[in-house]
Chain A
Amino acid sequence: MTTWWRRAFPLELAEEGHFSRREFARFLAVVSAGFTAGIGYLWWRKKPLEGASDPEAGPKELPVALGLAADLQPGQSRLFKFRDAHDACILLRTPKGELRAYRQTCTHLGCAVRYAEERLECPCHRGFFEPDRGFPVQGPPSRPLAAIALEVRPDGTVWAVGELPKPTLETLDRRAACPREKTEVTA
């Protein structure tokens, strides 16, 4: 007796139903080789991925003037372009009065973050970063924002001079000071 779905979808494939365990294992092994090829490509490709941090470019890049430091009050922010017209960054003065600059690209899915209510907010998926170091404190992002190195010159102007390296395993003390991790520990 023919089942209803067989009548609805009268497909007759010669090899239908003969996907063996070995074929499945070979498929998985090839997928595994694909991951290896992907990592190899990332290694072979010297140029950073689009939107990726590139702290090594520091000595080669031109400083960008961001205006007078005194013009920015605590809680205020200003947008600027750093390396090129697509490299959107945000300069802000924290509630403590310190100047900070970050790349505007959210580390979750790349939306532009904005400074509001004393924290950096990604409006796409409600991700939040604290303004002092750019660590994620709420929402989907799990990695900190790329920080821009600033320089205040004697005439009072602020300059973006490079990109700061992100925290690594060697800087565990900074990771331990992450507000999100503190919250998890106290909870």
Chain B
Amino acid sequence: MNTPRVRISPAALGVILVLLVIQLYLFETVLGAVLDGQRSVLPGAFFVSLALTAISLFLAFRSTVEHGPKE
């Protein structure tokens, strides 16, 4: 039986990688700020991080590209 091959697109994977790099930088910055006693950045950083994670999860689980029927 022929079934379409469904894969995540390279572009989506690239976006997820970029978002992860941003997350890493954000986490490092937030940790430095917290160690300096500046906790006021935490709410904003959390919601930004949450938004980036939501985008990453959406791309990882929903973004697909069809390559036609499988042999």
Contact = CB atoms under 8 A, between A and B. Distances in A.
A interface, over-half SS: helix
Contacts of A25: 8, 12-13, 16, 59-60
Given A22-B8, A28-B20, A35-B53, A43 B46 contact: yes
Contacts of B27: 35, 38-39
Contacts of A3: none
A21 B64 CA distance: 11
Interface in A29-54: 29, 31-33, 35-36, 38-40, 42-43, 48-49, 51-54
A40 B47 CA distance: 9
Nearest to A167: B36
Given A22-B8, A28-B17, A42-B31, A53 B37 contact: yes
Interface of B: 7-8, 10, 12-13, 16-17, 19-20, 23-24, 26-27, 30-32, 34-39, 42-43, 45-46, 49-50, 52-53, 56-57, 59-61
